[in-house]
Amino acid sequence: MTLVPPKVGGLGGQNSVSKNFSDILLDVAGSFVASTADSAVFDNGFNFSASNPQAPPLLTINIPIGLQYGSNPGSVNVTGATLTIETGQTMALLGGEVNLNGATLQVPGGRVELGGLSSRGTVTLNGATSVSFPDGVQPADISLTNSSLVDLTLPALEGRGFLFQRGDLLSLAGARKNRGLLSPSVVGL
């Protein structure tokens, strides 16, 4: 994933869900979810799929409640990029394998969700703050390499952030950590 113009902004305090995010710079003031899911699931039973589009019901506004993955979920790869969101928000990178290579995620005092599925399943979106993975589905691998950094720090005494991962194998080859990032009290491993 390389972040280059054009820039998309002006979303106010809205949260954003991006499917197959690539080659764009986003200015998002809320939480951010990047996913390789096959479709987004809504509470009215509608599934939005960019690869198999269907006309949505007219005049409806819904928030997705889940991300549905097929039998071979695509990988999320962040290479040499810095992804930053506002203080206290959530950043989720969800797909098959999740690979950070020389990348930085900056989520001051917020929450980072890294997770992957190795086969068909639905990840539940719990509002804009967390995700839940299905039982009985083998998780995929997560790797942070080449000085990748997940930075959840805030200025002194202002709190801390949380990193949650759901993966089969968590590889931290050459990754960096900030202020006790991998402490069990901070990280849900």
The whole-angstrom separation of Cα 83 and Cα 85 is 7
- pLDDT-wise least confident of 19-28, 55-64, 137-146, 164-173: 19-28
**Sign of the torsion angle spanned by Cα atoms 93, 98, 99, 100:** positive
| pLDDT-based confidence at residue 127 (cuts at 50, 70, 90) | confident
Confidence of residue 181 (pLDDT cuts 50, 70, 90): very low
180: alpha, beta or left, given left = phi > 0 and alpha = psi -120 to 50? left
Reported pTM: 0.77
**Is the pLDDT at 8 greater than 80, yes or no?**
no
- pLDDT for residue 176: 61
Position 115 pLDDT exceeds 90: yes
What pLDDT was estimated at residue 141?
92
Q: What's the CA gap between 105 and 176, in Å, rounded?
A: 11
136-149 tens-digit pLDDT: 999 999 999 998 98
Residue 105 DSSP label: E
Residue 61's pLDDT is 73
Phi, then psi, of 162 in degrees rounded to 5: -135, 135
Q: Which 3-state string (H, E, C) describes 23-88?
A: CCEECCCCCEEEECCCEEEECCCCEECCCCCCCCCCCCCCCEEEEEECCCCCCEEEECCEEECCCC
